[in-house]
Structure 1
C-alpha cells in the first residue's frame, strides 16, 4: 500500500534520512520506533509532502507521490496526525472536526462519520461546543485523531500520540488505535513508547540516526534482547 524506497532527506547539510526503505501493507499497523532525533517525524513528514526529499521514491497504492504537495495527500486517503496535535485552539471541537471533512463531497455520510468519531471519543461529544484550546492534553489528542478520521482515510499516519499523556490516557488512545485499524484503516505509527507501540503493531522498524537498523515482526522485536536494552529500559 505504502512503499518507501532509498529515501534521502536533508536539513541543510544535515543528512536526516539515509536510504530509508519501509513498507506498509493494507490492513496493517506498522510502527517506526527510535529515540529522539532518530528521523521518525522526518519520515512521516516526507510521506505527507511536508518535507521535500532529496532522492528516493515514495509510492502509495502503486502511484508515486514523492513530488506531490502536502495538500493533495488527503485526496488520496492519507491522513496525518502531527506531533504536538496541532489542533485549531481558537475553534470549537465541532469546528475542528468539520475542517477534517473539508475535502469531502458525500454530505450524507459526513454526519454518520461525526457520530462514529463521537462513539470512539465520547468526551468530544460532551465538549462539542467547547473551544479546543481549553481541552486537556488527552482530549486534544482525541480531537486530533478524530479530525484526521473525518477525512475517511485509507491510511492514518500517527506521530507520537502518547506524548505528554498520563498512562491511563495512553492506554485508552492505544485501544482506540487498534479499533480504528480493526475497522479497516491501515496505520503507520511513530512512537517513543516502544513497548506500547510494539504491543499493538503487526510489524516494526527501528531507526537510529536516520538509518533503519532493524525490522521484523513486532511481537518478536518486543522480546528481542537488543530492543529491550535500547528502548524498553530492561
Structure 2
C-alpha cells in the first residue's frame, strides 16, 4: 500500500531523515518507535505532504505522491492525526468533524459516517455542541482521530495518540485504534509508549537520528532484550 524508498528530508541545512525506507501493507498496523527527535514526526509530515523529501520516492497504491499537494494526498485516502491534536478550538465538536469531510464528494454518506464516529466515541456525541477548546486532552485526542476518520481514509497516520493521557485513557485509545484497523483502515502509528504500540502492531521500525536501524515483527521486538533495554524501560 505504501512504499517509501530512500527519502532524505532537510530542515534548512539540517538533515532530519537519512535514506529512510519502509513499507506498509494493506490491513496492517505498522509502528515507528524511537527517542524524541529521532525523525518520526518528520516522516509522517513528509508522507502527508507537509514536508517535501529532497530525494527518494513515496509510492501509495503504486502511484508516486511525493510531489502531490496535501489535499491531493488526503483525497487519495491518506489522513494524518498530528501530534498535539490540533483541533479547531473555537469550533464545536461537530463542526470539527464536519470539516474532516470537507473534500468529500459523497455528501450523502457523511451523516452516516458522523454517526459511526459517535458510535466509536460516545463522549463526542455527548459533547457535539461544545467548543472543542473546552474538551479534556483525551476528548481532544478522540476528536482529532474522529475528524481524520471523516475523510474516509484507507491509510491513517497517527502521531503520538497517547501523549499526555492518563493510563486508563491510553488503553481506551489503543483499543479504538485496533477497532479502526479491524474495520478496514490501515494504520501507521508513531508512539512514545513503545510497549503499547508493539502490543497492537503487526510490524515495527526503529528510527534513531533520522535513520531506520531495525525493523521486524512487532511481537518479536517486544520480546527482544535489546529493544526492552533501549525503548521499553527494561520491562
Residue in structure 2 matched with residue 106 of structure 1 by the alignment:
106
2:78 matched residue in structure 1: 78
Aligned CA RMSD, in angstroms, stands at: 0.5
Could you tell me how far apart the structure 2 residues matched to 1:212 and 1:30 are?
14
**2:146 corresponds to:** 146
Residue 174 in 1 paired to residue 188 in 2?
A: no
Taking the aligned partners of 2:3 and 2:87, their CA distance within structure 1 comes to 28
Task: Return the offset for 1:74.
Answer: 1.1
* Whole-angstrom CA distance in 2 between matches of 1:205 and 1:87: 28
Structure 2: how far apart are the matches of 1:185 and 1:3?
Answer: 17
Q: Secondary structure at the match of 2:38?
A: coil
| Cα distance in 2 between the residues matched to 1:133 and 1:72 | 28
Corresponding position of 1:217: 217
1:71 shift after superposition: 1.8
Show structure 1 runs of 4+ deviating over 6 A. none
Look up the SS of the partner of 2:26 in the other structure.
coil
In 2: Cα distance, 1:73 partner to 1:67 partner: 10
Residue 192 of structure 1 deviates from its aligned partner by: 0.7
- What's the offset of the Cα at 1:107? 2.0
What TM-score results when the alignment is normalised by the length of structure 1? 0.99
CA offsets per residue over residues 138-191 of structure 1, 9 Å max, x none?
000000000000011000000000000000000000000000000000000000
Report what 1:57 is aligned to: 57
Give the whole-Å Cα distance in 2 for the aligned partners of 1:222 and 1:41.
22
Is 1:135 the counterpart of 2:129? The answer is no
TM superposition shift of 1:6: 0.5
Secondary structure class of the residue paired with 1:51: coil
Q: SS of 1:36's equivalent?
A: coil
CA–CA separation in structure 2 for the residues paired with 1:8 and 1:45: 13
SS of the aligned residue for 2:212 comes to strand
Distance across 1 between alignment mates of 2:178 and 2:215: 21
Give the Cα separation in 2 of the matches to 1:51 and 1:102. Answer: 22
CA offsets, 1:83-105, max 9 Å, x none? 00010000000000000011112
- 1:1-234, aligned counterparts within 5 Å? 1-234=1-234
* Separation in structure 2 between the aligned mates of residue 166 and residue 7 of structure 1, nearest angstrom: 35
Distance 1:141 1:167 in 2: 14
C-alpha deviations, 1:192-234, integer Å up to 9, x for none?
1000000000000000000100000000000011100001111
Instruction: Give the TM-score taking structure 2 as reference length.
Output: 0.99
Q: When the two structures are aligned, how many residues end up with a matched partner?
A: 234
CA–CA distance in structure 2, aligned partners of residues 27 and 138 of structure 1: 26
Distance 2:52 2:77 in 1: 20
